[in-house]
Chains A and B, each alone.
Chain A
Amino acid sequence: METENYTCEDTVGPYYAPAFLDDDRQNLTNFYDYLVRPKGDVIIVQGAILDRDGNPVKPVLVEAWQADANGRRRTSATLEDADLDPWFDGYSRHYCDDGTFELTTIMPGAVPPCRESPSARAPYITLNLYMDGTERLATQIFFEGRPENESDPLLLSLPEPLRPRLLARRMPDNSDGVPVYRIDLKLRCADETPFFEDRFG
């Protein structure tokens, strides 16, 4: 190790306050209290976080972020870009006390090569999981059947048999006709979800 000086990550523990979430950010199609809706197709992404024994992990704090329908992501460098949807912030944090999550959002666009992303990307959602007894886990999920998946650099970095573990499957639409995608995130088991090292540098 060289001259590391950073504060260590620690487990979130079980007793963080649901109320420390400043807003309900489980629905990204509702930009806070404004009536304007983001562009794009509304979808629901749902799933469970399962432990070694197939039991739901509870509680879990799930953070998700993604690009808008144009494939543009809100960062400090893109805030003033004309093609960034001003009514979509693409960031969700929610408290899952029963081990399942459900996010109502916009189908993220495929990402064209741009300043922030030199390579084209398939539509994806980045997920961070926080739970008692471990530090943060980071991964990305993709959508089954999208042709862009075949050339996505993150998916291609995985051995082929691991790739389907990051694909959300299309389920029957819900009763309002909204497309539903489902993915289970599995921990400490033979078909464990791949997680990524975002320690850079």
Chain B
Amino acid sequence: MENRVLPNFDLQFDEQPDWRRLEVGETDLSAEARVPLRSLRPIPEAARTSFAPSVTRLPGLRAGENDLTRIAPGRPQAEGVKLLVSGSITDENGRPLRGVLLEVWNANKWGRYTHKDDPAVQQLDPNFLGYGRVLTDDDGRYSFATIRPGSYLVRPEIDRWRPSHIHLSVRGGSSRLMTQMYFPNDPLLDIDPGFQLFGAAGARQIGAESVSRTEGIDTDIRFDIVIGGRNPTIFED
């Protein structure tokens, strides 16, 4: 894939230097075909509210959906280091966000997802699905159990590995965030193009580990989530 330069690219359309342009991480070949070229355009004041999501009915959760270490309650645990990840979800001003849906997915111990499109050849774990959900409580707190995901080779043609990470999606009310939690001291963080784009803010994306005292859990991880920035929260109650 050559890096094409666009002819007569219509930058003359009044773009301002302080508008944000999304970047392509270095060597991120998957992104360089689709990250927009132009800066994100400002939303006029009169249209702002319309970019905050509608309030929707959130799903009722089944028991055990926040325990990814098992396929279902009472079934055997998957292989690997058992993690208990917990924290709070707040807005930028520290107000807890109650009843928001946290959706979680991660690869298994060997770095493979159960997703049909994952080309990895690593083994599947019959006791690990890798997808779960939890709602925050009245104090905006959540917790879920999972297996520490393995690193995986995401682009074999350029030998690019992803650091261990847990995918997280937060939604409910007007909160909206798609993010990933990473692990401390992972040498692959230094060469992950997406992580490097965070710069100093990458430190916020790393969970804090400690030895767990919870039965059936090896490691506790604290990961607080703050909804802000591009994720409009200004219309919460």
Interface residues of A (CB under 8 A from B): 4-17, 19-20, 22-23, 32, 51-53, 55, 57, 59, 63, 65-66, 73-77, 79, 89-91, 97, 111, 116-119, 121, 124, 126, 128, 130-138, 140, 152-154, 156-159, 161-162, 187-190, 192-201
Contacts and interface: CB of A to CB of B under 8 A. Distances in A.
A197 B34 contact: no
Interface string B113-135: 10101100000000000110100
A185 B215 CA distance: 50
Most chain B beta-carbon contacts within 10 A, residue among A9, A12, A194, A200: A200
Which 4 pairs show the lowest CB-CB distances between chains A and B? A133-B31, A6-B228, A119-B46, A22-B59
B237 to A, nearest CB: 5
A16 B20 contact: no
Given A153-B44, A197-B230, A198-B230, A75 B37 contact: no
Given A6-B228, A57-B34, A121-B47, A199 B115 contact: no
B205 interface: yes
B10 to A, nearest CB: 7
A164 to B, nearest CB: 13
B23 to A, nearest CB: 9
B63 interface: no
Interface residues on B, range: 35 or more
B158 interface: no
B51 A126 contact: yes
B17 interface: no
Interface in B180-237: 180, 194, 198, 201-202, 204-205, 225-232, 234-237
A20 B232 contact: no
A197 B20 contact: yes
Contacts of A200: 48, 232, 234
Given A117-B46, A140-B47, A200-B48, 18 more contacts: A4-B201, A6-B227, A6-B231, A7-B177, A15-B107, A19-B131, A75-B174, A79-B55, A90-B54, A111-B50, A126-B51, A135-B230, A138-B51, A190-B6, A197-B230, A199-B20, A201-B228, A201-B234
B38 A194 contact: yes
Interface of B: 4, 6-10, 13-14, 19-20, 22, 24-25, 28, 30-44, 46-59, 92, 103, 105, 107, 113, 115, 117-118, 130-131, 133, 167, 169, 173-174, 176-180, 194, 198, 201-202, 204-205, 225-232, 234-237
Given A20-B103, A137-B36, A197-B20, A10 B201 contact: no
A184 B232 CA distance: 26
Given A11-B194, A15-B105, A22-B59, A89 B54 contact: yes
A159 B51 contact: no
A76 B55 contact: yes
Contact of A192 (B38, B47, B59): B38
A10 B33 contact: no
A140 B131 contact: no
A47 B204 CA distance: 37
Given A15-B118, A51-B33, A153-B46, A10 B59 contact: no
B230 A119 contact: no
B173 A10 contact: no
A128 B60 CA distance: 24
Given A7-B205, A75-B174, A118 B227 contact: no
